[in-house]
Structure 1
């Protein structure tokens, strides 16, 4: 599989690198970023945190804005950040070029509808193709955690819940917890998955908790000054489902914080430490 180094920079004695490759799952060229801590080597492979970003983002937003490298270097954790959708001239986009659907808004699902299904297979890309590529080419182990923000928080929750054998911990900032009942999710799911709403439940964390035995520890931080909180995010529905089904979820409402990377910067070290507890568990 081809892998082209696009950029690299030393940071906290580790390395942040961007790569481009041809994705057979998405049928296009894709880019991802990886942070390798200074302890990572062929003799000492390290575990990986997969980070999924939100609407309009690329592989760059988290890596440049989250201030995660110092703590990740200290803990000895690699971080991988994929793009948020397929890209390229052949990849269809929203006809109105809106931010909440199409390019930059893959929703980490496998589309079943035309014209989206040829390229929009982000679930399989994140769960299968990208980890295989990373584990074959970098000094990392198969020990994984998953985290994300907003749309990416939705992705982290649903992917982590559905794949307990692949991820030892899950965390999210401001996730779209119940996408089947909010405008962002309804718009995307109708286009990508069609009108049969029973198929939507496969990508809704609240619904998945009702049908999966979830023992993977989950940490969610949500700002109470988030402008999207009431209409789009629905953390109370996630908390209710988790309590009802005995899921190990810690939901923390953070006073005064909004939806931005300033919020993520404030608590990212705690999320990394949370994941380290599981990634390095004996």
Structure 2
């Protein structure tokens, strides 16, 4: 922890042999490598916070870190991180010290795979800090506190995977109306998501579940559908491309071919022939 703090720690106490340490420190926003070292580290956020990104062999964490929640980093589990400015109450336990407790590192994988908010662990860490300051980190007290924290970490429930829900028909209709009203504009996923009050990543998943297409693919399809009657009416490919938001007619033609299987001019000629044959 000290190596990642960017300077001396605000306060640090530990047991006699240094195998258990506690600290208080304010960290600046930072990013880089993480997870080197032989200590299990638990960081309880006491102030500040924001979006935390962390990637290790255990997976990826991309969550808002709020006061009262804690992060667990296992020994010798390297990766990368991006963290906001924050103040932490930290507990570091040397891996060799873990051998005296009935907890295996594998039992802590769940704890290290996400941010958690557990009032018991937060209370125990607060008590450990205050008593360690008062009693200079007596071995008996540290052992008891560490045991409580480890047992609680090992018993954290498995987080339920987020439920994936399709966008409702009403929301799909609103997005379709937005697209149709802005066919020639630079319309992105963020703007579509805002139309139905969602954030972009969740909106994209829900939209694909509802329509079978990504938002961008759906936008392209709606543009090509709107282009067809214009082509049939005799407008040039360049005119139709500009009306559909394409500054480059070649890119419009390529998109039209992907959607319909034919170049715009060929499609228009074939469509006119089919209409004439019906008359």
Q: Kindly name which structure, 1 or 2, has the bigger radius of gyration based on alpha carbons.
A: 2
Could you state the TM-score of these two structures normalised by the residue count of structure 2?
0.22
Asked which structure has the greater RCO (Cα within 8 Å, sep 6+), the reply is 1
